[in-house]
Amino acid sequence: MTTNSNDNETLIPIYSVKTEKIEMVERIKKTDDEWKKSLSKESYNVARQQGTEQAFTGKYHNCHEDGIYQCVCCGTDLFDSKTKFDSGTGWPSFWKPIAEENVKEHNDRSYGMLRKEVLCARCEAHLGHVFDDGPKPTGLRYCMNSASLKLVKR
């Protein structure tokens, strides 16, 4: 693992479910070859190359297990299953992340649309997109790719 030495901030705040507090952790930056060795072909395509899995095919779109969804690349806690809902879209959807610090958003203008891409704050893995058509209390729908997540069951 190599840290991103070009960033002014090599340490960033990330909330840990295990410790129940925000901890200062190093950003993670790896070469493409390092990511390819540590991820499945599908996870590499989605998380590192901004791909999208086909709707209704991901292992978590219809999953009802209790646990924490982490980044498949770096293990950062991203979403709690208690905030997961069936959006009918074919992708796992959540109405909020574990903590605002753990994800970041980026304008995505691909395919002639303007969307908000959701990235892991620690390693910048592509997770999916966030939309403003979700349920209360936030009104948000974090539409994620299963290939970018791993579920740690409680």
Catalytic residues: 143
For residue 17, give Cα distances in angstroms to 5, 123, 135. Answer: 27, 18, 24
Closest CA to 94 of 129, 53, 123: 129
Measured distance CA(60)–CA(41) in Å, rounded? 17
Tokens 């891409």 found at = 117
Measured distance CA(103)–CA(117) in Å, rounded? 10
Measured distance CA(139)–CA(22) in Å, rounded? 25
